[in-house]
Amino acid sequence: MKVVLKELTKIFPSRDKKDRTEVVAVDNFDMEIPDGKLVGLLGPSGCGKSTALNLICGLEKPTRGRIFFGDEEVTDLPPEERGVGMVFQNYALFPHMTVEQNITFPLGNLKGDKKLSKEEMKAKAYEAAKLVQIENLMARKPKEMSGGQQQRVAIARALVKRPKILLLDEPLSNLDARLRLQTREEIRRIQRETGITTIFVTHDQEEAMSISDMIVVMKAGCIQQVGKPQEVYDSPVNLFVAKFLGTPAINVFKGRIISGGLYIGDAKVLDIPDEAIMGTKDRETVETDGREVYVGIRPEGFILDDNGPLTCRLDRVEVMGRDISVVSFHDAATAADTVCVRSIISAENQVDTDKDTVSFSLKPDKTHIFDMESEELLYYTKE
């Protein structure tokens, strides 16, 4: 079942009596989530991603806009008529019920000719439990289980009614690091096996990128970019997206474009090919010569090159095994946390740590140029 959001907006009235400004949690969402995909809603905390999930679920009513599941509009339907399954951040397992009772709970709500016998319920519960591999824990109470197991029970409960859409709110945030890796594979597997369109919310970009078919990056209630994880990583539409994705984070410099060349400080670090067009998001050509820009360079975009144009003051080299991380300083680097330049290069390279400086040349496809005012991407090559 595909999910279509049209101009979806949610405005919360102010809770503070002195400050009457409203909070726009979700701002004019236009988006289509294709059938059978695993989609990650990604953004920093407070960006409205959980609200967006609640709107899709039906727990919140949108202020404006419409929601479609397939061709059917569900905007005014209560959650139970939408055919969604939801897994909450803290799992919300009923502490006084066993795993089996928890999983069969949604089935007990069915009425009329949909009503199931005890045996049918049990069979369905076992089917769902098997899918998440907890069929041997059915008699336990939630508090007798580990976090990962509780998570599986919550998923089983959400799946037992065979929802058209599965929604997961921060599904991994309550798990420790090792379990998190394991569980995200698990979610991927379950989604593949069931083929249910699944939307999950997370603030962890690595988590979203690793398992999603598609990610939606949000900031302050607005969608920034939608796309396959690799695409979004490789061509971020603005500085926010570029900074938000990738660890270590992208290095940002202040730069300038002067007659076909990109300058950081006094050094011309890249040629801008003649056929490249500088444009805004709407592909309007802009005057670029002499323009102040931000230059974002991915850590893996640096090539160790003694004759390279970008020379930084060497601080230290961190060994990471396969790679080494060269930490250096450059005056044009921006933002408090990125005054140092972090570049990841293959461990086969040798860095002379006795020297005071280190020089790089840059990989053009790992270097992104953003307008200083709008922070939008400014670089499109002619096709």
Partner 1 sequence: MYNAVHGLQTRSVTVRKMKKTQSIKKSITYILLTLWGIIVLFPFYWMLLTSIKSYASYNGEYVPKFYATSPTLENYVNAFTSVPLGRYFLNTIIFTLVTTALMMIVIILSAYAFARIDFKGRSALFAFFLALMMIPNELVIITNFVTITELNMRNTFLGLILPSVTSVFYIYLLKENFEMIPEELYKAAKVDGTSDIKYLIKVMIPISQPTIVTIIILKVIECWNSYVWPRLITDDENYFLVSNGIQSIRENGFGRENIPAMMAAVVAISVPLVILFLIFHKKIMAGVSRGGTKG
Partner 2 sequence: MGWLYMLPALLFLGVFMVYPLIDVLIYSVEENYNFASQVYSGYGLFNYSYVLHDTYFVQALKNTFIIVMITVPVSTGLALLISLGLSSISKLKSLYQTLYFLPYVTNTLAVGLVFMVLFKKTAYSDGLINLLIKAFGGNAVDFIDGPYWAKIMVMCIYTVWVVIPFKILILTSALASVNQDYYKVARVDGTSSLRIFCRITLPMISSTIFYLIITGFIGAFKAYSDEVALFGTDLNSAGMNTIVGYVYDMLYGNSGGYPSYASAAALILFAIVFTITIINLLISRKMVTQ
For partner 2, which stretch binds (CB under 8 A), given 93-101, 182-190, 281-289, 346-354? 93-101
Query: Which conformational region is residue 83 in: left (phi greater than 0), alpha (psi within -120 to 50 degrees), or beta?
Result: left
Say which entry of partner 1, partner 2, none residue 94 contacts (CB below 5 to 8 A, set by partner kind).
Answer: partner 2
Q: Which two tokens stand for residue 262?
A: 């990109």
Site for partner 1 in 349-368 (CB under 8 A): none
| Cα–Cα distance, 251 to 272 (Å, whole number) | 19
Figure out which of the listed residues 8, 26, 57, 272 binds partner 2, where binding follows CB under 8 A.
57
Figure out which of the listed residues 22, 30, 35, 76 binds partner 1, where binding follows CB under 8 A.
76
Site for partner 2 in 145-164 (CB under 8 A): 157, 161
| Cα–Cα distance, 98 to 96 (Å, whole number) | 7
Query: What's 14's DSSP letter?
Result: P
Q: Do 160 and 86 touch, CB atoms closer than 8 A?
A: no
Cβ 6 to partner 1 shortest distance, Å: 16
Cβ 86 to partner 2 shortest distance, Å: 5
Site for partner 1 contains 77 (CB under 8 A)? yes
For partner 1, which stretch binds (CB under 8 A), given 74-82, 98-106, 206-214, 303-311? 74-82
- In order, the DSSP letters of 247-271 are SSPPEEEEEEEETTEEEETTEEEEE
**First and final C-alpha spacing in the chain:** 35
Site string for partner 1, 32-71 (x = CB under 8 A): ---------------------------------------x
Q: Which two tokens stand for residue 4?
A: 């279509």
Site for partner 1 contains 113 (CB under 8 A)? no
Cβ 76 to partner 1 shortest distance, Å: 5
Q: Do 31 and 4 touch, CB atoms closer than 8 A?
A: yes
The contact set with partner 1 (CB under 8 A) reads 71-73, 76-78, 81
